[in-house]
Amino acid sequence: MKNNFPNSFAHIRLEAITRNIKKIKERTGGKKILSVVKCDAYRHGAAEVSKHIEEHIDWLAVATVDEGIELRMKGIKKPILIFGVPTYDNAAAYITHNLTATISHVTHFSILMDGTGYHLNFDTGMGRLGFSPEQREEVRTLAVMNQRLVCKGIYSHYATADDPGSDFATLQHKRFKSLLNSFSEVPLVHMSNTGAATNYPEFNHFDMVRTGLGMLGYNSGETRHHWLEHALTWKSVATQVRPIKKGDVVSYSSTWSCPEDGFLATIPVGYGDGIPRSLSNKLYVTIDEKQYPQVGNVTMDYIMVFLGDDKVPVGAEVTLLGGTSWNAYNWAEAAQTNVHEIFTNITPRVDKRYSND
Ligand SMILES: *Cc1c(COP(=O)(O)O)cnc(C)c1O
């Protein structure tokens, strides 16, 4: 969908992303950086973000082959790792578009076409994709036998690095380290995500750190790393402002009734744009640096905001997320989810505008 007349826009500061990458690199002792731009860079715009950061990073990664193809179509040159699984359907695309595969199952060795580059994925405790550490010798043998493919790296993924002090993260780290003995000739080793890079600076981060949320200025879990800069601010405008009387009710199911005479603003964004319905009667937004409560149920296309005595003008700028308003941590906490989901919920209805600051 093309946004000729968008109701809201996400303003993304590209240089903030570059600064975050540099800080994460510093914190991990200058390791290589793989930027995770799956799901359209958590809706920050994969191509735009990748283009801007390309010279400061070493690798990119996305979840699906289609996401990789889109980046190549838009002129991205950096190596692109696909986290997802190769199939007979998509195997040729790795060659055509110069994408690096992940081999996480023995069948993948025969599925991929001659000359395809790949990283091995070991499951050290995530319980999602990857070989079990017990398969190390079998996998090593397959890698040696399949010289028609090019082994470029080996990785694993933490399940609990979002919070500091996790014994399980330490255990995963140990498991991964010990299986590396069988793969000493593999040129690139990586395991740390944003959580591991920010919460566990003392860990061995091997050759490269993978960061998605961190480069966008956030981390998941309880600790908040304020040395990261939030890159995105989501704004809309008040499309209608009208008086409201004490006792008047607002929105579907009439969950809110007005406590005192005042003004009500209607903002043209709803759960169809990415505002979780679970934030109904919880969210605060900012107009002219002042916070106002969102009231009544979030609808597909609109939210309503109680202004008290403030009769703000129609067309007034409303900050929904970031800047002087609630940030994505506040949203995630109130919606009982993680910051990743708050961002991936943002739909293509929301226009994206970029600046180089
Ligand atoms: C999504 C993902 C990441 C990035 O995680 P962040 O918490 O955003 O840094 C890293 N590695 C893998 C395998 C992933 O799927």
* Active site (annotated) includes residue 252: yes
Sheet strand arrangement including 240-244: 240-244, 262-267, 303-308, 290-295, 284-287, 317-321, 232-237, 8-13, 351-355
* Nearest atom within ligand 1 for CA of residue 214: 9
What's the Cα-to-Cα distance from 176 to each of 103, 152, 155, 187, 206, rounded to whole Å?
Answer: 16, 17, 8, 15, 10
Among 17, 21, 27, 36, the mutation site with the greatest number of ligand 1 atoms within 8 A of its Cβ is 36
User: Does the Cβ of 190 fall within 6 Å of ligand 1?
Assistant: no
User: Does the Cβ of 213 fall within 6 Å of ligand 1?
Assistant: yes
The pTM for the full model equals: 0.97
pLDDT at 222: 84
Q: pLDDT tens per residue, the chain (357 residues)?
A: 688 999 999 999 999 999 999 999 999 999 999 999 999 999 999 999 999 999 999 999 999 999 999 999 999 999 999 999 999 999 999 999 999 999 999 999 999 999 999 999 999 999 999 999 999 999 999 999 999 999 999 999 999 999 899 999 999 999 999 999 999 999 999 999 999 999 998 899 999 999 999 999 999 888 889 999 999 999 999 999 999 999 999 999 999 999 999 999 999 999 999 999 999 999 999 999 999 999 999 999 999 999 999 999 999 999 999 999 999 999 999 999 999 999 999 999 999 999 999
Among 24, 126, 193, the mutation site with the greatest number of ligand 1 atoms within 8 A of its Cβ is 193
The one catalytic residue in 22, 77, 252, 290 is: 252
Task: Give CA–CA dist 25/239, Å, rounded.
Answer: 43
The one catalytic residue in 38, 51, 235, 352 is: 38
Q: Which amino acid is located at 211 in the chain?
A: T
Residues of the chain with CATH 2.40.37.10: 232-355
What's the CA-to-centroid distance between 136 and ligand 1, angstroms? 23
Residues of the chain with CATH 3.20.20.10: 31-216
Residue 41 contacts residue 60 (beta carbons within 8 Å)? no
User: Does the Cβ of 210 fall within 6 Å of ligand 1?
Assistant: yes
Task: Give CA–CA dist 226/207, Å, rounded.
Answer: 25
Beta carbons within 8 Å of 133's beta carbon, 6+ residues apart: 122, 124, 175, 176, 178, 179
88: left (phi over 0), alpha (psi -120 to 50) or beta: alpha
pLDDT at 221: 82
Q: Which of 9, 83, 13, 5 is nearest to 48 (CA)?
A: 13
Residue nearest (by alpha carbon) to ligand 1 atom 12: 157
Task: Give CA–CA dist 38/210, Å, rounded.
Answer: 12
pLDDT at 115: 98
* Nearest atom within ligand 1 for CA of residue 220: 7
What's the CA-to-centroid distance between 199 and ligand 1, angstroms? 14
User: Does the Cβ of 155 fall within 6 Å of ligand 1?
Assistant: no
Task: Give CA–CA dist 203/330, Å, rounded.
Answer: 29
Residue 232 contacts residue 353 (beta carbons within 8 Å)? no
Backbone angles phi, psi at 241, to 5 degrees: -135, 130
Q: Which of 208, 196, 216, 219 is nearest to 81 (CA)?
A: 208
* Active site (annotated) includes residue 352: no
CATH class label, 31-216: alpha beta
CB neighbourhood size of 356 (10 A) = 8
Q: Which CATH architecture has domain 232-355?
A: Beta Barrel (2.40)
Q: How many residues does the chain have?
A: 357
